[in-house]
C-alpha cells in the first residue's frame, strides 16, 4: 500500500566526531567528518531508503556542508525542493565525542546557523499540500520562530486529514532553550504517534512512572506510543495493550541515528498498512543496522537490508 507523502521539518547539519572516546573537546583531537546529519534529516533519509515518498522542509547555507546534505538526501530519493539555501548563513554543525560510559558530549552550532532561519516559504507550502504524514523532532523546536513554523505545519497537515508523529529527542544541552518544554507538551497533545526514548516517556507528563505516563498520554488522544529502549529493544502501547520487541544482537559502533531510523521505519511501515507488531520488528531491525555503522545517516537501510537481518536472526533467542 502507498504511504502518501511523508514530510519532516527541522534542522540539517553536519556531524564531525572525535575518533577517540573521552570527555569533551578541550584539547586537540583527531576528528572525522563531515557526515550528513540532523535528526529530522536522518529520519527522512530512512523513509526514502524504504521507497516511500519523502520530503523535507529545512534551511542550509550556500556551502559544502549544505551541499553534502542536499546531495545525499536527493541521492536517496528525498524531495529537496523545500530545503532553502540561505546566502548569508552557514550550515549547522555538531561536534560529538563519545565518553567511555557511552554518553556523548556535543558542541552545537545550530541556533545561529541556517537551520535557525528555516521558514514556511512557497516551496514548503507546496510540499505541505501534498503531505499525508508529518514527523516532528523536539530537537527542532529551539526558538519561538521554529516552534511557530512547526506548529503551523502540524495544523495544515491535520486540517487536511493527515497524521503526525513526534519524537521528543531532547538532549540536556538543548532543553535549556526558552519555551521548549511548553512546545514539546503542545506537540505531544497534537501527535498521533509518540516515539520517546525510555526516560523521555515521563519527561512531559504529570505521572512519574511508565504505566501512569502511558495512560496519561493515551488519554490526550495520542493513538500509539513507541518507547525506544536501546539494546533492550522497544515497546508499543495503544488502547488495546502493550507489545514488546527485543533488540537484534549487533555490535554497537555508533548509536547516533538509531532512534531516527527506528522511528522512520516504524512510521513508514504503519502508513503502508502493516500491523504494530510487524512494524515494531522492522523498526528494531532498522535501529540495529543504524548502530552498526559509523556516522549518523550512514546506517539507513532498505527493506532488503532489514529482511536480511530479520531472516539471519530468525530462530535466535534474543
Q: Is 256 in the site for ligand ATP (CB under 6 A)?
A: yes
- Per the CB < 8 A criterion, the answer to whether 44 and 298 are in contact is no
Helices and strands per DSSP (H, E), number in the chain: 9, 14
Residue 80 Rama label (left phi>0; alpha psi -120 to 50; beta): alpha
Q: Is 294 in the site for ligand ATP (CB under 6 A)?
A: no
Q: Is 47 in the site for ligand ATP (CB under 6 A)?
A: no
256 binds, among ligand ATP, Mg ion, none (CB under 5 to 8 A by kind): ligand ATP
Q: Is 280 in the site for ligand ATP (CB under 6 A)?
A: no
Q: Interface with Mg ion by CB under 5 A: which range of 74-82, 116-124, 143-151, 257-265?
A: 257-265
Nearest to Mg ion of 89, 183 (CB atom): 183
Q: Is 268 in the site for ligand ATP (CB under 6 A)?
A: no
CB of 161 to Mg ion, least distance (A): 28
Q: Is 315 exposed, middle or buried (0-12, 13-18, 19+ CB in 10 A)?
A: exposed
Q: Is 259 in the site for Mg ion (CB under 5 A)?
A: yes
Residues 193-222 that bind ligand ATP (CB under 6 A): 197
40 binds, among ligand ATP, Mg ion, none (CB under 5 to 8 A by kind): none
Considering only 173, 252, 272, 313, the residue that binds ligand ATP (CB under 6 A) is: 252
262 binds, among Mg ion, ligand ATP, none (CB under 5 to 8 A by kind): ligand ATP
Considering only 287, 295, 297, 301, the residue that binds ligand ATP (CB under 6 A) is: 287
Q: Is 293 in the site for ligand ATP (CB under 6 A)?
A: no
Considering only 258, 264, 267, 306, the residue that binds ligand ATP (CB under 6 A) is: 258
- Per the CB < 8 A criterion, the answer to whether 121 and 91 are in contact is no
53 binds, among Mg ion, ligand ATP, none (CB under 5 to 8 A by kind): none
Cα–Cα distance, 279 to 266 (Å, whole number) = 5
Q: Interface with ligand ATP by CB under 6 A: which range of 58-66, 75-83, 181-189, 248-256?
A: 248-256
The site map against Mg ion for 193-222 (x = CB under 5 A) is ----x-------------------------
- φ, ψ of residue 137 to 5 degrees: the values are -105, 135
Q: Is 37 in the site for ligand ATP (CB under 6 A)?
A: no
Question: Cα–Cα–Cα angle for 57, 38, 11, nearest 5°?
Answer: 40
CB of 90 to ligand ATP, least distance (A): 24
Q: Is 140 in the site for Mg ion (CB under 5 A)?
A: no
List interacting residues with Mg ion (CB under 5 A).
Answer: 169, 197, 259
List interacting residues with ligand ATP (CB under 6 A).
Answer: 169, 197, 228-231, 233-234, 247-248, 250, 252, 255-260, 262, 284, 287-288, 291
Amino acid at each position: 500500500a502507498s504511504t502518501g507523502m511523508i514530510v519532516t521539518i527541522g534542522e540539517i547539519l553536519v556531524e564531525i566526531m572525535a575518533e577517540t572516546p573521552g570527555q569533551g573537546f578541550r584539547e586537540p583531537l583527531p576528528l572525522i567528518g563531515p557526515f550528513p546529519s540532523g535528526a529530522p534529516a536522518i529520519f527522512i533519509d530512512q523513509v526514502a531508503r524504504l521507497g516511500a515518498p519523502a520530503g523535507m522542509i529545512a534551511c542550509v547555507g550556500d556551502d559544502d556542508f549544505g551541499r553534502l546534505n542536499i546531495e545525499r538526501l536527493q541521492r536517496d530519493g528525498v524531495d529537496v525542493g523545500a530545503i532553502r539555501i540561505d546566502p548569508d548563513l552557514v550550515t549547522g554543525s555538531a561536534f560529538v565525542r563519545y565518553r567511555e560510559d557511552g554518553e556523548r558530549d556535543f558542541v552545537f552550532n545550530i541556533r545561529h546557523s541556517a537551520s535557525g532561519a528555516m521558514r514556511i516559504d512557497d516551496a514548503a507550502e507546496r510540499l505541505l499540500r501534498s503531505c499525508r504524514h508529518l514527523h516532528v523532532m523536539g530537537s527542532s523546536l529551539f526558538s519561538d520562530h521554529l516552534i511557530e513554523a512547526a506548529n503551523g505545519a502540524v495544523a495544515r497537515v491535520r486540517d487536511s486529514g493527515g497524521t503526525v508523529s513526534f519524537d521528543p529527542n531532547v538532549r540536556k544541552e538543548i532543553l535549556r532553550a526558552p519555551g521548549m518544554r511548553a512546545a514539546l507538551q503542545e506537540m505531544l497533545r497534537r501527535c498521533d504517534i509518540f516515539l520517546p526514548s525510555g526516560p523521555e516517556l515521563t519527561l512531559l507528563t504529570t505521572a512519574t512512572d511508565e504505566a501512569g505516563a502511558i495512560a496519561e498520554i493515551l488519554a490526550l488522544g495520542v493513538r500509539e506510543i513507541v518507547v525506544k529502549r536501546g539494546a533492550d529493544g522497544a515497546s508499543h502501547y495503544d488502547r488495546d495493550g502493550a507489545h514488546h520487541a527485543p533488540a537484534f544482537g549487533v555490535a554497537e559502533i555508533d548509536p547516533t541515528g538509531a532512534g531516527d531510523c527506528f522511528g522512520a521505519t516504524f512510521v513508514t511501515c504503519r502508513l503502508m498498512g502493516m500491523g504494530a507488531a510487524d512494524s515494531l520488528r522492522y523498526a528494531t531491525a532498522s535501529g540495529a543496522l543504524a548502530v552498526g555503522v559509523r556516522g549518523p545517516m550512514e546506517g539507513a537501510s532498505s527493506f532488503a537490508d532489514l529482511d536480511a537481518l530479520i531472516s539471519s536472526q530468525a530462530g535466535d533467542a534474543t
